[in-house]
Structure formats: structure tokens, C-alpha cells
């Protein structure tokens, strides 16, 4: 990760301005960032790197810290743009946010959200806006949430629907189901909600609202989604029940429980670790180790899939950090074979299909990915953009409404890929370019900083030719 200058007790505004260039803050596109990044066929990659802090856990640490009473000390926070927008948001809701050092953040909560002075701009962050809406709905505040052009295209009713059932009121200020939206919170009652899509964002928004609702709220999931909110609530002193139900579970939470500030150690993000590991698998002769990768079984679907494809992956030094299992993952160049990815694995690797598709282009045979319609409503329509980008690089792809199939073969490259400002589309194609015949370029590379600031530097440190 990029090095940020350390200042004792840097307040949020100064901490953000202390970040190294290139820096993109939402609404600030003036800084000098390259218009394209290009990856070229590289010699064997070698080295040991550290994964940046997990994005899901970083959002939750800031939000729960702001809802709590007292001080929450966070270590290893992801200092990506998505997280900085959430940090600014919780400050607007009345918390004090400081940065005592690199990756070390201190949130002093006031025991709840207060009325903010203006609208909350969540930039590119879907997780940020959906979780913040859930939290805000529980308090007697009126607040407008907005985001960048990509976030304004993403559906919000999946969250506002259940929150409205609990008693919150929403006014669409533009198009229905899209940001900007005004939320009138407070006076909530518990609901029993049965998820129709396995979404941790929806579950988390409901649970955060449920903290300030009358009665016991339940969320039932047929396929379990990532459980970081439930785990972290317990660390903040909240009891959340869990009842196994077939392949899924029912989470229950009694309203009126108070949160107490705590210490949070953020483990490394498996969704970011996936990119250097993917490069290790496809660039001949490589051996790449990423240290401190979170191994929560609801996040490791990609590792399982790669293993089924014949990937040489080893996990060493398994340990517990911040209430999660972590380990050091090593990827060595491997002869991969195409597989059918079981649809029920989707929730545990939903953000990883783009990079899986990039590695599948180098496999022998076809890799079928189905039951992943959710990919179309992420930061971009990721099925469409991966299909277009891979085809432009000479890869055969068949697109379906709810999935796609990538046929391995010679990867020509030689294209400039349109990313629609989606960080994972950009990184997936850059990884592809490290092993394709001709270079691969991506537009809007500044957006990579939403989840992986310092990506290019880290990859260059391994020997990747990216500039």
C-alpha cells in the first residue's frame, strides 16, 4: 500500500489531505492521474506482499464505532476512497474521527447518529451508502444520501424496502429506486425479513436499523452471505442470535441494545489479494505470497474454485486476527483447467468473478459461471464489461442473462478496455495483460484507489510491468 505520512492524532480532514498523489476524492477529479494504465507481458513475478485492509470490515468498523458510545481504535483500516467517504459520513453524523498513524484510526462515538448539516455523499461506495442508510434509519434524523454517477445507477429499494417496512420514510429526489434519496428515520419496529438475494449489504442495513427498533428483528438467508456485521456487533457488546436453517441461517437481533466502543484489527482483504495471486497463477515461473489474507469461509469461494481448476495455492501461518481467521496465501504459476462454478458458491466470491474470468482465459477448456445476475448491479454491469473486455483481448466469451462462460486459449491482448470507472474491471484486465501477447490498457485507472490504493506500485514490486 502507499505510505501515508503519520501525524499524531491527525483529524480526518488533514488525514485525507495527507494521502499521497494520485488521490481521488469524490467530486474531486482535478488531481494528476494517468488517463490510462497499461500492463505488458511480464517476466516471472516473485515476492511477498501484504493485502490492504478488508473493505467490508473497514466500512463496518467506522459505522459501528460512530453508533457506539466511547472510543473505537481501528488498526489496518483500508485507506481507499470508498472508506474515506464513509469516514467523512460518520463525522457528519456527529462522531469524531482521527488518524493517529498509518492505517490506525480512532472513532469517538456519541452513542448514536446526530442530524448532519448537509447531504451525505457516498461517492462510489455501495456498501457505504446501504449500511449508512440502515444505521441512519434508526435515528430521528432527516438526511439525503447521494453518490457518484455509478452509485446513482445502482438499485436502492432492496434496502429502502425493508427499512420502510420497519417504519422509515424515503423520498426519491430523482428517479425511483435510485440516489439521491432523503431518509426520515426513527420510530422503527422489528420485522421478519426473508432474503431473496444472498446480500450482506441488505442483511447488514436491516440489522443496523434493528438496533434501534422495537422488538426482535430476524433476517433469514437461504444462502449465507458474509457475516462481518454479526461478528462485529458481538465485539461491540451486542447479542445477535444465529439459528441454522437448511443450507442457510436466521439471524436475530433484539432492539434497544447499546454498542460500546472497542478495538478492531482489520484483516487483509481477500477480494484485493485475489489480483496479485491471479497474476502469480498466470505469469509463467511466478511465486507470489500475500500475507494476512482473511480466510472467513464466506469469502473464500475463489480460492476453492482456483483449486478445482488445478491452481497451486498454499496457505501457511493460519492464525486469528481481529476475530477472523487469516493466513499467508502463496500462488505459483499453474496449468489451469476450466470448471463449472456452482451457483451456490456465488455469495462467497461475488466480487471475484471478474478476476476469475481473467484467469479462466488462460485455462484449458471452458469455465462456466452461472447464477450471478447480481454482478450486473455492482459498480458496473460486470458480466457485460468482462465479456466485452475479454473479447477485445481475443478471448471467446458467451454471455447469458445471469452468467457467462469463458473459453481458455491464446490471449492476444492489444486492447484498451473501458472500465466504466469500475476498480475491479480495471485490475482484472491489468492482471490479464501481464500474461497476454500484446499489452492491455484500461481507462479511468484512478478508480482503482476506491478499494486498492497502491495497486500498481505493489504489482510493480513483484516485477509486473504496469505503467
Residues acting as catalytic residues? 351
Site string for ligand S3P, 363-382 (x = CB under 6 A): -----------x--------
Select the residue interacting with ligand S3P from 84, 89, 163, 200 (CB under 6 A): 200
Give the CA distances from residue 424 to residues 62, 128, 351, 371, 399, in Å, rounded to whole numbers and listed in that order. Answer: 23, 17, 8, 19, 19
Q: Does 456 bind ligand S3P (CB under 6 A)?
A: no
351 binds ligand S3P (CB under 6 A): yes
- Binds ligand S3P (CB under 6 A): choice among 56, 58, 405, 450: 56
Least distance to ligand S3P from the beta carbon of 365, Å? 28
Between CA 407 and CA 116 the distance in angstroms is 51
The residue from 26, 42, 201, 441 that contacts ligand S3P (CB under 6 A) is: 201
x/- string (CB under 6 A) for ligand S3P, residues 233-272? ----------------------------------------
Which of these, 187, 217, 223, lies nearest to 205 by C-alpha position? 217
Q: Is 219 in the site for ligand S3P (CB under 6 A)?
A: no
Distances (CA, A) of 407 to 201, 333, 360: 32, 19, 7
CB of 350 to ligand S3P, least distance (A): 5
Of 2-10, 44-52, 197-205, 300-308: span binding ligand S3P (CB under 6 A): 197-205
Question: Closest residue to ligand S3P, Cβ-based?
Answer: 56
d(CA 191, CA 166): 6
Candidates 101-109, 199-207, 304-312, 403-411 — which segment interacts with ligand S3P by CB under 6 A? Answer: 199-207
- Let me know: does 292 contact 279? Beta carbons within 8 Å: no
Count, residues near ligand S3P per rule CB under 6 A:
11
Cβ atoms of 425 and 380 within 8 Å: the answer is yes
Smaller CB separation from ligand S3P, 56 or 367? 56
- Least separation in angstroms between residue 99's CB and ligand S3P is 22
| Residue 274 near ligand S3P by CB under 6 A | no
Q: Which lies closer to ligand S3P via its Cβ, residue 10 or residue 124?
A: 124
Whether the upstream peptide bond of residue 22 has omega within 30° of 0, thus cis, is yes
Nearest to residue 428, comparing CAs of 278, 302, 290? 278
Decide if residue 195 touches ligand S3P (CB under 6 A): no
Interacting stretch for ligand S3P, rule CB under 6 A, among 6-14, 193-201, 435-443, 452-460?
A: 193-201
Shortest Cβ distance from residue 55 to ligand S3P (Å)? 7
Question: Which residue among 350, 363, 417, 435 contacts ligand S3P (CB under 6 A)?
Answer: 350
Give whichever of 449 and 464 is closer to ligand S3P, judged by the CB atom.
449
Asked if residue 458 lies in contact with residue 427, where contact means CB atoms within 8 angstroms, the answer is no
| Nearest residue to 390 via CA among 360, 369, 364, 363 | 360
C-beta of 351 vs 444, nearer to ligand S3P: 351
110-129 residues near ligand S3P, rule: CB under 6 A: 127
Closest to 252 measured CA to CA, from 188, 197, 200, 207: 207
Task: Pick the closer one to ligand S3P by CB: 26 or 86.
Answer: 86
Nearer to ligand S3P, 125 or 393 (CB): 125
Q: Which stretch binds ligand S3P (CB under 6 A): 88-96, 194-202, 301-309, 391-399?
A: 194-202
Question: Residue 83: phi, psi to the nearest 5?
Answer: -75, -35
Is residue 160 part of the contact set for ligand S3P (CB under 6 A)? no
Decide if residue 86 touches ligand S3P (CB under 6 A).
Answer: no
From 42, 72, 204, 380, residue interacting with ligand S3P (rule: CB under 6 A):
204
User: Shortest Cβ distance from residue 155 to ligand S3P (Å)?
Assistant: 10
Closer by beta carbon to ligand S3P, 88 or else 226: 226
Q: Residue 232: which residues within 8 A CB-CB, separation 6 or more?
A: 57, 60, 61, 64, 264, 323
Binding of residue 199 to ligand S3P (CB under 6 A):
yes
Contact call for residue 359 and ligand S3P (CB under 6 A)? no
- CA dist 173 and 100 (Å) reads 38
Which residues in this chain contact ligand S3P in the complex, by CB under 6 A? 56, 127, 199-201, 204, 225-226, 350-351, 374
Amino acid at each position: 500500500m502507499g505510505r501515508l505520512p503519520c501525524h499524531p492524532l491527525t483529524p480526518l480532514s488533514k488525514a485525507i489531505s495527507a494521502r499521497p498523489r494520485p488521490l481521488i476524492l469524490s467530486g474531486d477529479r482535478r488531481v494528476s492521474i494517468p488517463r490510462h494504465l497499461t500492463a505488458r507481458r511480464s517476466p516471472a513475478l516473485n515476492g511477498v506482499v501484504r493485502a490492504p485492509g478488508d473493505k467490508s470490515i473497514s466500512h463496518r468498523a467506522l459505522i459501528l464505532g460512530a453508533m457506539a458510545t466511547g472510543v473505537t481504535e481501528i488498526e489496518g483500516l483500508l485507506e481507499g476512497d470508498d472508506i474515506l467517504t464513509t469516514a467523512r459520513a460518520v463525522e457528519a453524523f456527529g462522531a469524531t474521527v482521527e488518524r493517529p498513524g498509518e492505517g490506525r484510526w480512532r472513532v469517538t462515538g456519541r452513542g448514536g447518529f446526530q442530524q448532519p448539516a448537509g447531504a451525505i455523499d457516498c461517492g462510489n461506495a455501495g456498501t457505504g451508502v446501504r449500511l449508512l442508510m440502515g444505521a441512519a434509519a434508526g435515528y430521528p434524523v432527516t438526511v439525503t444520501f447521494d453518490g457518484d454517477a455509478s452509485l446513482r445507477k445502482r438499485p436502492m429499494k432492496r434496502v429502502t424496502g425493508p427499512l420502510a417496512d420497519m417504519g422509515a420514510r424515503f423520498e426519491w429526489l430523482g428517479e425511483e429506486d435510485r440516489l439521491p434519496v432523503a431518509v426520515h428515520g426513527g420510530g422503527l419496529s422489528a420485522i421478519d425479513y426473508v432474503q431473496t438475494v444472498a446480500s450482506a449489504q441488505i442483511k447488514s442495513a436491516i440489522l443496523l436499523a434493528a438496533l434501534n427498533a422495537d422488538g426482535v428483528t430476524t433476517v433469514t438467508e437461504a444462502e449465507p452471505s458474509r457475516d462481518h456485521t454479526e461478528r462485529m456487533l458481538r465485539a461491540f457488546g451486542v447479542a445477535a442470535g444465529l439459528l441454522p436453517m437448511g443450507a442457510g441461517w436466521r439471524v436475530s437481533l433484539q432492539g434497544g441494545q447499546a454498542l460500546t466502543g472497542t478495538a478492531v484489527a482489520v484483516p487483509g482483504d481477500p477480494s484485493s489479494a485475489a489480483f496479485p495471486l491471479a497474476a502469480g497463477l498466470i505469469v509463467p515461473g511466478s511465486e507470489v505470497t500475500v500475507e494476512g489474507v482473511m480466510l472467513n469461509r464466506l469469502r473464500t469461494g475463489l480460492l476453492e474454485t482456483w483449486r478445482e481448476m488445478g491452481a497451486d495455492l498454499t496457505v501457511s501461518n493460519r492464525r486469528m486476527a481481529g476475530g477472523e481467521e487469516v493466513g499467508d496465501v502463496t500462488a505459483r504459476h499453474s496449468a489451469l483447467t476450466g470448471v463449472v462454478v456452482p451457483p451456490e458458491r456465488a455469495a462467497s466470491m461475488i466480487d471475484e468473478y471478474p478476476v476469475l474470468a481473467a484467469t479462466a482465459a488462460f485455462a484449458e477448456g471452458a469455465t462456466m459461471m452461472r447464477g450471478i445476475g447480481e454482478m450486473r448491479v455492482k459498480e458496473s454491469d460486470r458480466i457485460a464489461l468482462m465479456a466485452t473486455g475479454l473479447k477485445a483481448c481475443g478471448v471467446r466469451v458467451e454471455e447469458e442473462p445471469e452468467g457467462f462462460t469463458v473459453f481458455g486459449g491464446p490471449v492476444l491482448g492489444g486492447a484498451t478496455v473501458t472500465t466504466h470507472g469500475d476498480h475491479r474491471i480495471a485490475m482484472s484486465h491489468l492482471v490479464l495483460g501481464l500474461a497476454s501477447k500484446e499489452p492491455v490498457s484500461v481507462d479511468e485507472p484512478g478508480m482503482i484507489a476506491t478499494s486498492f490504493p497502491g495497486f500498481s506500485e505493489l504489482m510493480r514490486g513483484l516485477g509486473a510491468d504496469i505503467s
